[in-house]
Amino acid sequence: VIAREENVYCMVNPAPAADLSRSFYRQVDLLTPNESELGLLAGMPTEVPAAWRTAGHRLLDLGLQTLLVTLGVDGSLAMDSQSELHLPAYKVKMLDSTAAGDCFNGALAAGIDALVEARGRTRDRLVLTPGDLAPMIDRATRAAAMSVTRQGAQPSIPWREEVDGFDSWYPQHSS
């Protein structure tokens, strides 16, 4: 509530998923569940792509501004009431996925913060569509892809400079 009153962009990763009130969704700008959390929040199974969209629209209908579902090897799905965008995952030789979600969300939050900083921090409400988020989602996907090729949680999270070098790193680690 305080973030909304101050027009602070509010990104929430609902892990572990819990039953959330309808008013909660109206306070959140971006919700980033994974596939199973999406199913729990929407109250339905989400094993197939069509179900991801149906479940996503259930949450958007509760007043959520934007939804970004992480789908592991299936990439991610960003949705708002007007549009949706599916971004593929990078195929890599996976070693340990422990930190993938946290890495993805951290890189995404850093990207959103950089955008806010570049635009100049104002009291105006920031509204980001799936298309606006696409470059940040891609960077977060790159960071998570690097993370899963390494053992452990915190040690697997790449530094910013490593993610900057993803294009030269990827050919040696793709599957």
Residue 45 contacts by C-beta under 8 Å, 6 or more apart in sequence? 39, 51
The two three-digit tokens of residue 66, written as one number: 């934007």
d(CA 122, CA 76): 29
- 102 catalytic, yes or no? yes
Which domains, from first to last, does the chain contain?
2-173 (3.40.1190.20)
Digit-coded pLDDT (tens) for 34-62: 999 999 999 999 999 999 999 999 999 99
What is the rounded average pLDDT of the residues 95-118?
95
Q: Which of 172, 151, 33, 35 is nearest to 99 (CA)?
A: 151
Q: Does the pLDDT of residue 121 top 90, yes or no? A: no
pLDDT of 2 above 80: no
- What's the pTM? 0.93
Q: What is the pLDDT of residue 123?
A: 64
Average pLDDT over the chain, rounded to an integer: 93
pLDDT score at 145: 98
pLDDT beyond 80 at 125:
no
Catalytic one of 96, 102, 113, 132:
102
